[in-house]
Amino acid sequence: MRGAQLRSSYGVIVVPTAAWAHNAFDLAAWASGAAVGYGLYRWRLKGATERIAGRVGPGYFISLAAGAVAGGWLVGSANTLQDSTPALSHSVAGALAGAIVAVEAYKLVRNIRGSTGAIFVGSFTTGVIVGRLGCFFTGLPDRTYGTPTSLPWAVDLGDHVGRHPVQLYESVSMAMFLAVYLWGLAGRAPWAMRRGFYAMTIAYGAQRFCWEFLKPYPKLVGPFNLFHVLTLGLVIYGWIWWARSRADERRSQVGALSVLRPDHEPV
């Protein structure tokens, strides 16, 4: 890694970067995400996961994987091909959106209702937390760096320019969501047990939408880039399905109430 001192002469934090950091942290993200997902499965989500697995069939997982791969590369490349030095790339936001589209289409065809993503909440969130560290320590070649700033925590990724550490903003944001989600699971809160995936898409989309203003990506519409549009779509998706799930829950509670019949009337 390069960068031998904590702060440069012009006051920003010098970050040691290396090309291999991305692969190293990607592996760590996959491993930690799988570990957290398995831990949550054993702790709180085993029953719900087994019920879902019995309904969805193997085609669900094939659709999910295909959608994630296609969405990740299509969205990532659509953004970086607009740069002055075009290149193919992949995007975690695109992978999430692609997986959602593919899975919802599969569920529609198979007439499967309700959320089926509970088991992926912890693993995806952990993957983002750890994976963004890889983006950060890879530096400028990763193309996820922030815009220039004079804030005290500005970082120099190798070009002697103080920048927003947007990758760390995202890691911290998702770590905060994970803490709230774990708190919800600990208390068996209905939102965490039944609508955790929708909560995650809202949280991920909202925080990512904000940080996109601090990235030098090509604009798509006015001040908004491609990821603004995509992450806003994730927030809307999560909100709509959250509301539908709550409505279904209320209807089931009403249906479970005892209804007075003639033989209940006083004589």
C-alpha triplet 209, 69, 22: angle, nearest 5°: 70
Query: What does the pLDDT read at residue 10?
Result: 62
Answer yes or no: pTM beyond 0.75: yes
Q: What share of the chain is helix, strand, coil (3-state, %, to 5)?
A: 70, 5, 25
Helices 166-186 and 190-211 cross at an angle (nearest 10°) of 170
**Residues 126-135: pLDDT tens digits?**
999 999 999 9
* Mean pLDDT rounded to a whole number for the chain: 91
DSSP code of residue 43: I
Query: What does the pLDDT read at residue 251?
Result: 86
Query: What does the pLDDT read at residue 86?
Result: 87
**Residues 44-81: pLDDT tens digits?**
999 999 999 999 999 999 999 999 999 999 999 999 99
pLDDT band at 266 (very low <50, low <70, confident <90, very high): very low
